[in-house]
């Protein structure tokens, strides 16, 4: 059986992250920069991806960040050197030394890159740019494309703002390599060696994974949601069983017994912590696996159905359409068109 600690790795393999650093920003106060929703950036930055995550790493200095919605600004956070801020759900947001300054997103910054220009782009922002009076801040900003549809429990469980603060080494917390990864990304962006773009892409993915791992480690004991469920006795084991054997003909009784719980306790706790009933979770995860098979291969639908636990193509097609909202054939044609 899959180890509970490997559940995040399993989900990340299916989500297929692809990263790139696009900007190295030098800002002098007063400064502000605004980014639109990721749905507006996706066609410009990574048109082949299903979704887009934007992240920023504060290398030097300090500032503020907040989500911008139709109802106004919300969820403001303070950034300092070493902070990583990620917007997993693609919210419009702004960052700056003073968020009261007027701002508007500039899509011109996100135009398809000139292939003759080596990434990352250098960008200077702020009224203090060009002189030494304003307080300086340095950031690296980039994107992670992902293939998370129709269902990815990890991304769904992340907050609208994932803010990872610098953390001193502590004996009660596992050591991690987030700071070293950030430093490696900065050094790689400066050296311009052969293969730097590919290295930067992988480092971006690792920074995201390390930030998620830090977030999970720092969750309070009473937290709920998929990430909390991974580390919850019994429920974490049930999730591991589902991910290890998604095609098995599971019943609630069998899953509860192997997870060491009664049927009623399993149903109640799983729904309370994960937010969905166990069998619903199983069905949704099967459809995610099936969708990935249809994206990346040419298996006939019957083979796809069997690989995720359905005896007939017809029953699989009905389940897929009920959960995803379109038939398997429509899904396959849409994803091939995108590629």
Tokens of 287: 């459809």
Q: CB 72: neighbour CB atoms within 10 A?
A: 8
Q: pLDDT band at 82, cuts 50/70/90? A: confident
> Which bin fits 192, alpha (ψ -120 to 50), beta or left (φ > 0)?
left
Q: Is 45 exposed, middle or buried (0-12, 13-18, 19+ CB in 10 A)?
A: buried
For the chain, which domains are there?
17-146+167-217 (2.60.120.10), 227-338 (1.10.10.60)
**SS3 of residue 162 by DSSP:** strand
Rounded to an integer, the average pLDDT of 5-31 is: 81
When the pLDDT of each residue in the chain is averaged and rounded to a whole number, the result is 84
Rounded to an integer, the average pLDDT of 237-242 is: 94
- pLDDT of 75 reads 73
- pLDDT of 132 reads 53
Checking if the pLDDT of 168 tops 80, the result is no
Rounded-to-integer distance, Cα 320 and Cα 123, Å: 45
**SS3 of residue 85 by DSSP:** strand
The distance from CA 3 to its chain's CA centroid, rounded to whole angstroms, is: 21
- Of 48-52, 86-90, 190-194, 289-293, the least confident: 190-194
- pLDDT of 8 reads 82
Rounded to an integer, the average pLDDT of 136-151 is: 86
pTM check: above 0.85: no
For the stretch 173-211, pLDDT in tens is: 555 578 788 888 778 777 777 777 778 778 888 888 888
For the stretch 306-320, pLDDT in tens is: 999 999 999 999 999
Rounded to an integer, the average pLDDT of 143-150 is: 84
- Of 40-54, 77-91, 165-179, 274-288, the least confident: 165-179
Most confident of 4-13, 158-167, 278-287: 278-287
Rounded to an integer, the average pLDDT of 242-249 is: 95
Q: pLDDT band at 161, cuts 50/70/90? A: very high
Rounded to an integer, the average pLDDT of 151-159 is: 90
Q: pLDDT band at 265, cuts 50/70/90? A: very high
For the stretch 44-78, pLDDT in tens is: 888 888 889 999 999 889 999 999 876 655 678 99
Rounded to an integer, the average pLDDT of 153-178 is: 75
- pLDDT of 3 reads 55
- pLDDT of 114 reads 60
Q: pLDDT band at 117, cuts 50/70/90? A: low
Question: Do 76 and 66 meet the contact criterion of CB atoms below 8 Å apart?
Answer: yes
Rounded-to-integer distance, Cα 309 and Cα 286, Å: 8
Q: Long-range contacts: 283-288, Cβ < 8 Å, 24+?
A: 283/319, 283/323, 284/150, 284/151, 284/323, 285/151, 285/153, 285/242, 285/243, 285/246, 286/246, 286/247, 286/310, 286/319, 287/150, 287/151, 287/319, 287/320, 287/323, 287/324, 288/14, 288/150, 288/151, 288/152
- pLDDT of 5 reads 56
Rounded to an integer, the average pLDDT of 155-163 is: 91
């Amino acid at each position: 059986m899959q180890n509970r600690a490997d559940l995040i790795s399993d989900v990340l393999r299916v989500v297929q992250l692809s990263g790139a650093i696009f900007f190295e920003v030098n800002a002098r106060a007063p400064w502000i920069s605004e980014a639109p929703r990721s749905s507006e950036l996706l066609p410009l930055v990574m048109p082949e991806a299903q979704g887009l995550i934007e992240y920023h790493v504060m290398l030097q200095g300090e500032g503020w960040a907040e989500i911008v919605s139709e109802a106004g600004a919300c969820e403001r956070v303070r950034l300092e050197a070493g902070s990583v801020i990620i917007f997993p759900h693609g919210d419009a947001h702004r960052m700056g030394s003073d968020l009261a300054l007027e701002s508007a997103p500039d899509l011109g910054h996100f135009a398809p890159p000139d292939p003759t220009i080596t990434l990352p782009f250098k960008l200077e922002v702020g009224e203090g740019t060009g002189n030494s009076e304003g307080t300086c801040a340095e950031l690296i900003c980039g994107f992670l494309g992902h293939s998370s549809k129709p269902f990815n429990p990890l991304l769904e469980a992340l907050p609208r703002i994932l803010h990872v603060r610098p953390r001193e080494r502590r004996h009660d917390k596992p050591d991690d390599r987030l700071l070293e990864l950030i430093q490696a990304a900065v050094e790689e962006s400066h050296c311009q060696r052969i293969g730097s773009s590919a290295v930067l892409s992988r480092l971006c993915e690792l920074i995201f994974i390390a930030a998620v791992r830090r977030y999970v480690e720092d969750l309070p004991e009473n937290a709920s949601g998929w990430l909390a469920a991974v580390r919850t006795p019994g429920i974490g084991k049930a999730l591991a069983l589902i991910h290890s054997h998604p095609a098995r003909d599971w019943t609630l009784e069998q899953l509860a017994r192997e997870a060491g719980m009664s049927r009623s306790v399993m149903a109640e706790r799983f729904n309370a912590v994960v937010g969905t009933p166990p069998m619903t979770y199983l069905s949704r995860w099967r459809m995610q696996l099936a969708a990935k098979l249809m994206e990346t291969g040419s298996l006939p639908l019957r083979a796809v159905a069997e690989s995720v636990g359905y005896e007939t193509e017809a029953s699989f097609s009905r389940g897929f359409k009920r959960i995803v909202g379109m038939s398997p054939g429509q899904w396959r044609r849409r994803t091939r068109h995108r590629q």
